Amino acid sequence: MQAQCIVRRVCLAAVILAGASWVTAADGAAAAANSAAGLRTVQAAYPRLSSGPLATARLAELPQGVMLRSGDLAVTEADIEAEIGKAPYGVAEQLRANAFFVLEQLAAKGFLARDAKSTAAKAGKDVASRSESELVQERLQAVATSVQVAEPEVAAFYAANKDMFCGKGLADVKTYVEELLREQKQEEAVDQHVSKLVQDAAVEVSAKWVEAQGATASDNPIERARASGKPTVAVFSSSSCCGPDKMGPVVDQAQAEYGERLNVVSVNARQEQVMTMRYKVHSIPLLVFYAADGAEVFRRTGFVEFADFQKELLKIGIK
């Protein structure tokens, strides 16, 4: 079975390169503490900009060209452009519109590398003779080593997402589902670890640059809908080896049925790769439900019939 026909995911190997993360409750608490201390944080100034570890970073005036600084770690505008330049043209343009997301990934990678070297040195290991990637890999494996996937979790995921598997039974895809769930849990463990590293460090980001990124990053269909004052449903889906996009007709029916009362935003997850990563989409179809104030209320994975879709809308105040 070809994984790309079923899900879009960020595996542990990708985390090493990207360092993906999300805003945890601890991030919010740290941001609040910084705010109380008179420090203006990314989360306080731009609540929807950060997808992860830099939520607690302090906005500051930094030297020209420096976008982030934390002790001996720095990320420059040139670093960001170089990272964007590695991507294919279409993806590069998406990254350029989400440059703060790129900064977060580079910062996370830097913090992981610094942590890996420090941990290895404290353990008496020869850091000088080993590559950075080798040290990071070893550290990530240690962070994620306790991750376990129980059989009921596998069965529950399969039951909720049968349409992803093109008619195959649980026995046929069990190993694949176990691998997928394990990778997601590993990513979550690494995410939490990176967030803790950032919270424990003094991190500054360029206030002027972040202000510009705040405007750019909010200029996408989901953020415009969230800012409209109406409930919103973002639908991440795509056609696959199983056939055409089955959520398409549901989206069309919802838009016709609810009109101006509800925003229904359809995102082609295979085309909008950066948006898919930014909004933490691991498998498709995925529906993200937002309240009228733009706050995320809940998510639902897997194909949803229109009748079930209507029931879910009750949770965000749409009857």
The pLDDT tens digits of the residues spanning 93-107 come to: 999 999 999 999 999
Regarding whether 192 and 46 lie in a shared domain, the answer is yes
The H-assigned helical ranges of 132-236 are 132-144, 151-160, 170-199, 207-217, 221-226
**Residue 43 sits in the same domain as residue 144:** yes
| Cα distance from N-terminal residue to C-terminal residue, the chain | 40
Please tell me the predicted confidence (pLDDT) of residue 162.
80
pLDDT 10s digits, 275-302: 998 998 888 889 999 999 999 999 998 8
Asked if 119 and 24 sit in the same domain, the reply is yes
Number of domains in the chain: 2
Q: Residue 64: inside a domain, yes or no?
A: yes
Chosen domain end from 217, 234, 262:
217
What strand order describes the sheet that includes 204-206? 58-60, 204-206, 66-70, 73-76
Q: Which pLDDT does position 240 carry in this prediction?
A: 72
Is 296 found in the same domain as 165? Answer: no
The pLDDT of residue 203 is 94
Asked whether residue 35 carries a pLDDT value surpassing 50, the answer given is no
88, 96 contact by CB (below 8 A): no
Residue 2 belongs to a domain: no
Are 58 and 207 members of one domain?
A: yes
**Torsional sign, CA 157, 24, 80, 214:** positive
Same domain, 159 and 40: yes
- 136 with 205, same domain: the answer is yes
Tell me: pLDDT of 3 over 50. no
Residue 177 falls within a domain, yes or no? yes
Q: How far apart are CA 3 and CA 5, in angstroms?
A: 5
CATH of the domain at 238: 3.40.30.10
In this structure, the answer to whether residues 225 and 212 fall within a common structural domain is no
Residues 160 and 243 in one domain: no
Range with lowest mean pLDDT among 22-31, 71-80, 223-232: 22-31
pLDDT of residue 100: 95
Residues 86 and 234 in one domain: no
Q: Are residues 81 and 102 in the same domain?
A: yes
**What residues form DSSP beta bridges with 68?**
75, 205
In a domain, 1, yes or no: no
pLDDT tier at 241, thresholds 50, 70, 90: low
Q: What is the pLDDT of residues 139-192, one digit of tens each?
A: 998 998 888 999 999 999 888 878 778 789 999 999 999 998 998 888 888 888
Q: 252 lies in a domain?
A: yes
The residue among 186, 217, 248 that closes a domain is 217
Q: Using the 3D structure, point to which of 190, 217, 244 is the last residue of a domain.
A: 217
Give the tokens for residue 166.
């093109």
The rounded distance, in Å, linking the Cα atoms of 30 and 253 is: 43
In a shared domain, residues 191 and 279? no
Residue 26 lies in a domain: yes
Which range of residues forms the domain containing residue 80?
7-217
